[in-house]
Structure 1
Amino acid sequence: MAERPLVPGGTAPHALVQDIAAPVLTSDDHHHLLRVRRLRDGDPISVTDGRGAWRWCRFGTELVIDGPIECVEVPAPSITVAFALVKGEKPEIVVQKLTELGVDRIIPFVAEHSVVRWDEDKVHRNTERLRRVAVEAAMQSRRIWFPVVDAVASFAEVVAVPAMVAADRDGAAPTLSAPAIMIGPEGGWSASERDSLPTRVGLADGVLRSETAAITAGALLCALRARLVGESGPAA
């Protein structure tokens, strides 16, 4: 029987359950763990409600509780990344990586120069897909607090988010005083949007693709929050 680590991680899988007090795996998760991960009866598995609570269980036809409910405080400050829709499977990649990094809220949106625009049917279908991607990435990265993935928003709705700043090549370095960054489309901001942009922050010396900029923004903010890097002051 495999030994369990003290916290979620290592080789033990991590799964989302609806009720942390009486955890039950979904049929899809149980099938994946049994047939793909090849778990055996009694192997350790951590489960979470995605809202700050988790515990250890043992795998089997039914989960066997093997530890108390542990509660983790919500990370502060909450980190938000908004990104203008991009082509193909890139939105899924952005959501996956932002979730792995620890971003708390992810907002896809449409800007005036956005090439990609979803109709009403696609908004519902694609939003559900992005939320599934976030859940899978949160389980893979052993998150206890799962991110919120918003439905597609408008430029005005994103600008109105508290503490929102906009990524711009000429901006200053990001700081945790503004832990929400919006990333524009490949075609850049329109003239009217540029006039409405909030404070601007820079992410790199060069020009980044939209999906790269979104992931970079999430990485920088999460690294600042985890104190892996320090906030830089103005150049002397």
Structure 2
Amino acid sequence: MPNAFFVLPEDNRVTLDSSETKHLRVTRAKPGDKLTGIDGKGTTYRFVLEELGKSSASGIVIEREYIEKDGKSVTVAVAATKWPRLHILIEKATELGVDRIELFSSLRSVSRVDQSKLAKLNAVAKEAAKQSVNPYIPEIRISETLPLEGSFNLLLEFGGRPLAEVEEELAVERKLRLIVGPEGGFAPEEIRDISTRCTSVSLGRRTLRVETSVIVVLGIINYRLGRI
């Protein structure tokens, strides 16, 4: 069950759409209950549920809190992978407070994503934000090629430096991009191009799944950035 509901605020009231109303009914919420809401843009709300209809609901705001961003940006760029793993990755990255998720095509990708899947991907991020009471829902972008501009790029690669060697850099960089290839790794020609614009790092001897790697590195990044 979600720990917060997605709300649309207006003055001292919030409204909830049909999907959120369904969740209210599943959790057996009733008028008079005090609940938590998020708007996905940085504000959390405490509100009293006032009306619970068949396809919509509304409440009165009793408290609100805006959470300022820390001025830094963390992006996870991942080669397209199969849906079950992609679902977990988006869910956990959202729970860990990532700012942006970029999905791109790689020569060895066993799956493809396109703009038609964006609504489905955003729905996963939205549900994960509600579960973790994350006031910000990450932006999800889909592109054919890997974007590398404007950030300190970390490429996860077996032959890279130990991640511990670059932890100090993680603390001072304002824009970070974590790059994770497909299950079979990037093709040699892709590595030649990407590595010239990235810092290659390794998580050690173990072969981790894509989603596991993302969880581990985001945990370390969050620690260095003071986000936990």
The two structures have a TM-score, normalised by structure 1, of 0.80
Q: Which has the higher strand share?
A: 2
Counterpart amino acid of residue 163 in structure 1? F
> Unpaired segments of 5 or more residues in structure 1?
1-10, 229-236
> Unpaired segments of 5 or more residues in structure 2?
52-56
- Cα gap change, 1:162 to 1:179, in 2 (>3 Å): closer
- The alpha-carbon deviation at position 71 of structure 1 amounts to 1.4
Separation in structure 2 between the aligned mates of residue 80 and residue 51 of structure 1, nearest angstrom? 17
**1:78 equivalent in structure 2:** 73
**2:41 equivalent in structure 1:** 51
Matched, 1:195 2:195: no
Q: How many residues align?
A: 211
Question: In 2, are the aligned partners of 1:97 and 1:215 still within 8 Å (CA)?
Answer: yes
Separation in structure 1 between the aligned mates of residue 112 and residue 216 of structure 2, nearest angstrom? 23
**2:15 equivalent in structure 1:** 24
Q: Deviations over 1:42-97 (max 9, x none)?
A: 11112222111222111232433242432110134221111111123211111011
Question: In 1, are the aligned partners of 2:15 and 2:59 still within 8 Å (CA)?
Answer: no
**1:100 equivalent in structure 2:** 95
**2:82 equivalent in structure 1:** 87
Report the secondary structure of 1:28's partner residue. helix
- The alpha-carbon deviation at position 26 of structure 1 amounts to 0.7
- 1:139 paired residue among 115, 122, 130: 130
Question: In 2, are the aligned partners of 1:85 and 1:185 still within 8 Å (CA)?
Answer: yes
Question: In 2, are the aligned partners of 1:76 and 1:225 still within 8 Å (CA)?
Answer: no
- When the two chains are superposed, the root-mean-square deviation of aligned CA atoms in Å is 2.2
Report the secondary structure of 2:142's partner residue. coil
Query: Which runs of structure 1 show a deviation greater than 4 angstroms over 4 or more consecutive aligned residues?
Result: none
- Cα gap change, 1:221 to 1:150, in 2 (>3 Å): same
**2:54 equivalent in structure 1:** none
The two structures have a TM-score, normalised by structure 2, of 0.83
Report the secondary structure of 1:95's partner residue. helix
**Paired-residue identity, %:** 28
Question: In 2, are the aligned partners of 1:57 and 1:63 still within 8 Å (CA)?
Answer: no
